[in-house]
Structure 1
Amino acid sequence: MLQQRRDDIMKLYSYWRSTTSYRVRIALNLKGLSYAYCPVDLVAGEQSEPDYSALNPGKGVPTLVLEDGTVLTQSLAIIDYLEAIAPEPQLLPAQPLLRARIQAAAHTIAMDIHPVNNLRVMTYLKSQLGMDSAGQTAWFHHWMTEGFAAYQALLPGGTRFSFADTPTLADICLVPQLYNAHRWGVDMTRFPRLLEIEEHALSLAAFDQARPENQPDAS
């Protein structure tokens, strides 16, 4: 049953371990936007309950409900909206080439790694294709390693974060995926640059407060 929350601030329907929700939490925090946290237990299947699927037909998280009741879904679309209504700090630069490069790196995480490793895919591999835990882990490690190698190759040198000395959309996508990599035991020795970025990011309150273990539904 979805929890009813106050309507004078935005409501974020989220799951503590969801990397897509994690992205949006970081963006909201960086921009200093207040929101009410509304947990959706993906493991328990709450995303498929009628009241939630009416809100988000994709039956996933995050979902952001604005103060006027307008519903937004898909993490990158939500972050794009937040960038438009709260331009500072800037997550995507105006300079066209750098903007495109940052988006390409972000999409490497959001469109190449995440879709083949999310909960619904892993559940399908197990329940419909009979893949055991070892097979699922191998699958996850393969696609994570492939994606991280591509991401790291896209980065310039000499910046504190992926493309600048302040976080961009690329870092907002990277850090949650690194959380998953650590959780699944991916060998990260090939990716020292990514681990340096992660260390810088998690030293910031906006990233630290968005960590899965710091969410009210963490278990």
Structure 2
Amino acid sequence: MASVSQETPGISSTSARLKLYSFWRSSCAWRVRIALNLKGLPYEYKAVNLRQGEQFSEEFTKLNPIHFVPTLVDGDIIVADSLAILLYLEDKFPGHPLLPDDLQSKAISLQAAVLIGSNIQPLQNMGVLNLIQEKLGPKEHQAWPKHFIEKGFTALEKLLKDVAGKYSVGDKLTLADIFLVPQVYNARSYNVDMSKFPTLNRIDQALAELPEFQAAVPERQPDAKA
């Protein structure tokens, strides 16, 4: 597993204390990279090559027995699962908050995040898609995730269309935005027509202009080249 120090663009810092175990193409790890950038937290990037089975190594199994990325190590504290990591970062590093103070806006942001994280993204995991291809064939390997992305995005569009401002929930960045961007990327890879979801498409385009989001994209991660 390779290790590289990462810093948010424009923010100087001392050596990283946080360690993020990540795979460049993982949308779950991508969420955490965005949050670390937005909060200006330097971290050590520990690449876990899921395609080569490094998640099953003895070293990584001790950190995360379910063999998923991301995993965050903060001293003696180990946190797995992207939402758990994001809430941990929110509690420990409250600067640049990712959840609104207003209870309704906070609830909507969390609802959007969970909608993506629990009802869309897991159905396109590498293990799930490999099993679908094995049992049902290559056509279903593509059709399955597209169906569930479109179903989830239909609900998400309705949830956000009346509360969105510049971003998903008003004009401040929230967890909803952090979850949205990687999922739109995945949607395009499965040929989902984003014109069906104008609110989501507009928000994604606005977020793409932010350097903290740009630095987190898969192609810019140190293990992408490998």
> What is the TM-score of this pair, normalised by structure 2?
0.90
Aligned length: 215
| Percent identity between the two aligned chains | 42
Deviation at 1:48, TM superposition (A): 1.2
Write the mapping of 1:29-108 to structure 2, written as runs, cut at 5 A: 29-66=37-74, 68-108=75-115
Q: What is aligned with 2:125?
A: 118
Deviation at 1:5, TM superposition (A): 7.2
Q: What is aligned with 1:20?
A: 28
Q: What is aligned with 2:11?
A: none
Deviation at 1:111, TM superposition (A): 0.6
CA distance in 2, matches of 1:32, 1:162: 21
SS in 2 for 1:217: coil
Question: Which amino acid is 1:13 matched to?
Answer: Y
CA distance in 1, matches of 2:3, 2:216: 22
CA distance in 2, matches of 1:72, 1:61: 10
SS in 2 for 1:36: strand
Question: Which amino acid is 1:28 matched to?
Answer: L
CA distance in 1, matches of 2:27, 2:16: 26
Give the 3 Å change call, closer, same or farther, for CA 191–116 of structure 1 in structure 2. same
CA distance in 1, matches of 2:173, 2:28: 17
Q: What is aligned with 1:175?
A: 181
User: 1:147 pairs with 144, 149, 152, which one?
Assistant: 152
CA distance in 1, matches of 2:131, 2:158: 31
Deviation at 1:158, TM superposition (A): 5.5
CA distance in 2, matches of 1:11, 1:113: 27
Question: Which amino acid is 1:27 matched to?
Answer: A
2:199 counterpart of 1:185: no
Give the 3 Å change call, closer, same or farther, for CA 50–194 of structure 1 in structure 2. same
Q: For 1:133-169, what per-residue CA distance to the aligned partner results, in whole angstroms no more than 9, with x for missing partners? A: 2211110110000000111100125501111212100
Assess if the C-alpha contact under 8 Å between 2:120 and 2:152 holds in 1: yes
Q: For 1:103-128, what per-residue CA distance to the aligned partner results, in whole angstroms no more than 9, with x for missing partners? A: 1111110010011111111122123x
Structure 2 gap ranges (5+): 6-14
Measured on the aligned residues, the alpha-carbon RMSD in Å equals 1.6
Q: What is aligned with 2:12?
A: none
Q: What is aligned with 1:162?
A: 168
Deviation at 1:4, TM superposition (A): 6.2
Structure 1 gap ranges (5+): none
Deviation at 1:92, TM superposition (A): 0.8
> What is the TM-score of this pair, normalised by structure 1?
0.93
Q: For 1:184-210, what per-residue CA distance to the aligned partner results, in whole angstroms no more than 9, with x for missing partners? A: 221222012111111111111110000
User: 1:207 pairs with 203, 208, 213, which one?
Assistant: 213
